[in-house]
Amino acid sequence: MIPESFVQELLARVDVVDVVGRYVQLRKGGANLLGLCPFHNEKSPSFTVSPTKQFYHCFGCGAHGSAITFLMEHTGASFPEAVRSLASNAGMTVPEASRSPVQRAADKRRKEEVSRHQQILDMAQAHYVAQLKLAQPAIRYLKQRGLSGAIAARFGLGWAGTDRRGLAAIFPQYEDPLLVESGLVIEADDGRRYDRFRERIMFPIRNTRGKLIGFGGRIIGKGEPKYLNSPETSLFSKGHELYGLWEARAGIRSAGHVLVVEGYMDVVGLAQHGVENAVATLGTATTAFHIEKLLRASHTIVFSFDGDTAGRRAAWRALNACLPLVRDDVAMRFLFLPTEHDPDSYIQAYGAEAFRATVSEAMPLSRFMMDELASRHAMHEAEGRAACVHEALPLLAMLPEGTLRLQIEREFAKRVQLTPEELSGMMRDAPPPSNAEPSPEHNAPPPYGGPQASDYGAYDEPPGFMDGASYEDQGHQVHQAPMHEPVARAGKRSARAPGKTRSVTPLAKRLLRLLLAHPELVGQLGDQQLEILHHGPHLVLVRDLITLANSSGARHAGALLQAAEPGSDLEGVLASLTPELLAGEELPDPQAEWNDALGRIELEAIKAEQSALVQGGLKDDFSRRRYQELTRRIALLSSASSRQVR
Q: Which of 26-30, 62-66, 347-351, 612-616 has the highest mean pLDDT?
A: 347-351
Give the pLDDT band of residue 452 (cuts 50, 70, 90).
very low
Is the model's pLDDT at 426 over the cut of 90? yes
What is the reported pLDDT for 460? Answer: 30
Is the model's pLDDT at 451 over the cut of 50? no
- Average confidence (pLDDT) over 203-227: 90
Can you tell me the distance from the alpha carbon of 183 to that of 156, in angstroms, rounded to the nearest whole number?
19
Matching fold, domains 4-90 and 504-645: no
How far is Cα of residue 521 from the mean position of the Cα atoms in its chain? 33
What CATH class has 4-90?
alpha beta
Can you tell me the distance from the alpha carbon of 235 to that of 538, in angstroms, rounded to the nearest whole number?
49
What is the reported pLDDT for 86? Answer: 93
- Average confidence (pLDDT) over 530-541: 76
Is the model's pLDDT at 497 over the cut of 50? no
What is the reported pLDDT for 438? Answer: 39
The fraction of the chain above a pLDDT of 90, given in percent, is 45
Instruction: Tell me which fold the domain 504-645 belongs to.
Output: DNAb Helicase; Chain A (1.10.860)
What is the reported pLDDT for 164? Answer: 95
Q: Locate the domains of the chain by residue range.
A: 4-90, 109-236, 377-429, 504-645
What is the reported pLDDT for 151? Answer: 96
Give the residue among 456, 449, 436 at the shortest CA–CA distance from 239.
456
Burial of 386 (0-12, 13-18, 19+ CB in 10 A): exposed
DSSP 461: P
- Average confidence (pLDDT) over 377-381: 95
Give the residue among 355, 361, 390 at the shortest CA–CA distance from 373.
390
- Average confidence (pLDDT) over 355-376: 96
Instruction: Tell me which fold the domain 109-236 belongs to.
Output: DNA primase DNAg catalytic core, N-terminal domain (3.90.980)
